[in-house]
Amino acid sequence: MGENTQAVSNDFKYYENMVAHMIFCASRRNGVRGILFEAFFPWLLGEFQEQVTHPTKLMMDEEEMAFSGLLDGYNELAQLPGKNVPFLAPPNAEWPPYILGADWGCFGHLDRLKNEERGDISVREVSSDTPLFFCECKYWHKKVDSRAMKGIMKGLETVQEDKWKIVFVFCVGLTNFRKGSWAHGSIGCVRIDCRSGDVKWVVQPDEGHRKKLVVVMETGPVKIETHMSGRNSAA
């Protein structure tokens, strides 16, 4: 598996496994046809609920909103809510030819990326080399700060510049940025509490300059030792 072996915390592997497993589960909520991203995202948040998994609504200023509401002005992401998140194989597993050859369903890959590829996880359809989205996992025993975010941006812009349009950064929490510390004029940043669904903008580029988006997924502390790693087979 292409795990990130350079994370600060020794718990990085279990945290990445947990996130990958949650994405895997949410992708299968509508069966082999796949699931529209707009429906997939509430189920992904639902995986973070402590008692019963259920779709979790996004809330901004105490008002319910859809994920598409975050993409206003991001023309290159305008079609994301209507795109299908495929029915995913387990991390780094390949679908057997007899399934793909049956010509039914929408199948995809959940890739655990190598260090040099930047990003920890990506989701893509079987027929595409371009991921639908990337994920970064930063399980540190402190909140992620602006310096860490700069490192994430530098890596993606260097290695995946032409492929990435949106990245989900999973972490315990995000510190408050100092004014002027965000040096990416066309990249927005929004934070989402994975358990409550609460949404707050960190940086919103001026209208007409919005191209890419960083979504910080604040998980809070998690009992990662209770989560088992995913299997490496689609069977």
H/E run at residue 135: strand 133-138
Whether residue 57 is contained in a domain is answered as yes
- Does residue 2 lie within any of the structural domains? no
- Expressed as residue numbers, the domain containing 52 is 16-218
Question: Does pLDDT of 227 surpass 70?
Answer: no
Q: Please state the domain count of the chain.
A: 1
Q: Residue 232 domain-assigned?
A: no
The pLDDT tens digits for 99-127 are: 988 878 999 999 998 765 567 899 999 98
Q: Decide if 34 is inside a domain.
A: yes
- Alpha-carbon distance 137 to 122, whole Å? 11
Strand 58-60 and strand 63-65: pairing?
antiparallel
Mean of the per-residue pLDDT values of the chain = 86
Q: Is residue 130 part of a domain?
A: yes
1 domain-assigned: no
pTM: 0.87
Number of Cβ within 10 Å of residue 99's Cβ equals 16
- Pick from 4-13, 107-116, 169-178: least confident: 4-13
Query: Tens digits of per-residue pLDDT, 30-81?
Result: 999 999 999 999 999 999 998 788 999 999 999 999 999 999 999 999 999 9
- pLDDT, average across residues 12-39: 93
Within a domain: 160? yes
Q: How far apart are CA 144 and CA 202, in angstroms?
A: 13
Pick the closest to residue 220 from 152, 147, 142, 166 (CA basis). Answer: 142
Q: Is residue 6 part of a domain?
A: no
Structure tokens at 95: 């679908």
Task: Say which residue, 231 or 216, is predicted with more confidence.
Answer: 216
